[in-house]
Amino acid sequence: MKDLEYLSLAINNISVIENLQNCEKLKKLDLTLNFIDIDALEVSVQNLKLNPLLADLTLTGNPFDKWSDARPYIIAHLSSLQRLDGNDITKSERLKALQRINELDTVCIVLVVDQTLLPLCSSLRSFVRS
């Protein structure tokens, strides 16, 4: 897999992007319609940093899409990307994302905590009512 340049893992029930570090020449990755949610986005993006030649990434149709700042978050963290979800990344878009990187990191953490605690709070409310 060392020489692999394009990998399509679309529609594969993937919930976290991992174990691609040996794909040293990976340039294009398609993970359309999987199950990558906000709670796995941070670790997934960190894992993709191990693919420094990755230029084209497609993540359309994953649950984290509901976060409006997912695109700038990914762009800010993956400096080699030139295209995301079929759209070119402009210099100004990258600059704006980089200027917001601390804010984006904080919001991502807050969303993960909210997503983790919300079901727990609902369960506790149901338990207390019984």
Residues of the chain with pLDDT below 70 are: 116-130
For the chain, first and last CA: distance in Å?
54
Distance (Å, whole) CA 95 – CA 97:
5
124 occurs within a structural domain? yes
Instruction: State the pLDDT at residue 123.
Output: 54
Tokens of 112: 């993960």
CATH number of the domain that 73 lies in? 3.80.10.10
123 occurs within a structural domain? yes
12 occurs within a structural domain? yes
Distance (Å, whole) CA 115 – CA 39:
8
Distance (Å, whole) CA 3 – CA 22:
9
**Half-sphere exposure at residue 112, Cβ-oriented, CA atoms within 13 angstroms:** 15
Phi first, then psi, for residue 78 (nearest 5°) are: -115, 90
Instruction: State the pLDDT at residue 1.
Output: 75
Residues paired with residue 71 on neighbouring β-strands, in sequence order: none
Tell me which amino acid residue 7 is: L
pTM for the model stands at: 0.88
> Strands 28-30 and 56-58, how do they pair?
parallel
49 occurs within a structural domain? yes
Instruction: State the pLDDT at residue 130.
Output: 52
Write out the residue range of the structural domain in which residue 12 sits. Answer: 6-129
With contact defined as beta carbons under 8 Å apart, do 80 and 54 qualify?
yes
68 occurs within a structural domain? yes
Instruction: State the pLDDT at residue 36.
Output: 97
57 occurs within a structural domain? yes
1 occurs within a structural domain? no
